[in-house]
Structure 1
Amino acid sequence: MEPVNEAAIAWEETAHGETGFRRKKLAAAAAAQGADGDGAGPDLGCSLYELPPGKRSWPYHYHTGNAEAFYVLSGTGQLRAGEGEHPLEPGDYVACPAGPDGAHRVVNDGDDELRYLAFSTMRDPDVTVYPDSGKVGVFAGAPPGGEGERDVSGYYERDSDVPYWDDDC
């Protein structure tokens, strides 16, 4: 087990509409160095995020199988959680349980970059629910934010449904 310094990890950038951030997958880098002992990946995810002014993180969502938490390092913003908005500032810690009570989205409504750590359990499989758009994401083979190839991965309309039995069975 060796320390991983964030300065040695490349930024991954995501930009789509109002969503835009940079992320360094700290736990994945540690696992790549064998920190978990078997090379299969950590049981706890951790990423460093930088969210520019006026941008939002992932769409408002919750995970059915994974909890998440955030620790604000610098900057200010808003956390949309449940039915409310909550200010974020350096030193704030937020825990988002798995399930509807853990629905969240981080927004940088400040003038400076919002920098925070995001932690998550790394359970596989997982279903991510997006209440605003009526979608679900289904992931199996690698947890959300995890490394590796997935057996199943896709986004679907939450209300779409097909019968269990069809004429071909």
Structure 2
Amino acid sequence: MQYRRKQLGAAAKGRKLGCSLMELPSGKHAWPRHYHLANEEAYVILSGTGRLRLGEDTLVVKAGDYVALPVGAAGAHQLLNDGDAPLRYLAFSTMLEPDVMVYSDSEKVVVSAGSAPGGDKAARTLFTTLPLSAEVDYWSGEER
């Protein structure tokens, strides 16, 4: 993972809509494949080319393309710069909290509350990464 990111939404004091200007070097991706349970995302490709894994499909993306990344498993996504030049794009997101992100390839889950993912870290009341296998009995550790 390697990228350059400028958080435009936060810089403009946006509260319910996030936007980042992203730049990926050749051969790199910004995040592992994941999907959100609360926040919808979208990409606008500004320059370069890439390969987007979206749901069960793999799409070729290039300058001028717009791609919606819906909530849930159908919106599972990962963008890879498979070209020779940097891949530049705008990444938009609703800024809802709490949110749960599922990383199915690495079998992890991230829970975020108090601030949306990509939002104000100081406002977070919970941000944790767990293996999907971390489930315990509801009553474990409690007196019955």
Please list every run of 5 or more consecutive structure 2 residues that lacks an aligned counterpart in the other structure: none
Percent identity, aligned pairs only, is 54
3-state SS of paired residue (1:88): strand
Other-structure match for 2:129: 155
Query: 1:97: which partner in 2?
Result: 70
- Partners of 2:77 and 2:69 lie apart in 1 by 7
* Residue correspondences, number: 142
Output the amino acid matched with 1:21. Answer: Y
Q: Which amino acid aligns with 2:60?
A: P
Aligned equivalent of 1:126, options 99, 118, 122: 99
User: Post-superposition, which runs of at least 4 consecutive aligned residues in structure 1 deviate over 4 A?
Assistant: none
Cα deviations across residues 28-66 of structure 1 (Å, max 9, x unaligned)?
0000xxxxxxxxx51000000000001012000000000
Root mean square deviation, CA, Å: 1.0
Partner of 1:82: 55
Matched, 1:71 2:44: yes
Corresponding residue for residue 51 of structure 1: 24
Matched residue type, 2:87:
L
Alpha-carbon distance, 1:167 to partner: 4.9
How far 1:159 sits from its partner (Å)? 2.0
Q: Which structure ranks higher in relative contact order (CA pairs < 8 Å, sequence separation ≥ 6)?
A: 2
Comparing 113-122 and 80-89, the one that deviates more: 80-89
SS in 2 for 1:20: coil
- Whether 1:109 aligns to 2:67 is no
| Counterpart amino acid of residue 91 in structure 2 | A
Gaps of 5+ in 1: 1-18, 32-40
**Which of residues 1, 7, 10 in structure 2 aligns to 1:28?**
10
Question: Normalising to structure 1: TM-score of the pair?
Answer: 0.81
Structure-2-length-normalised TM-score = 0.95
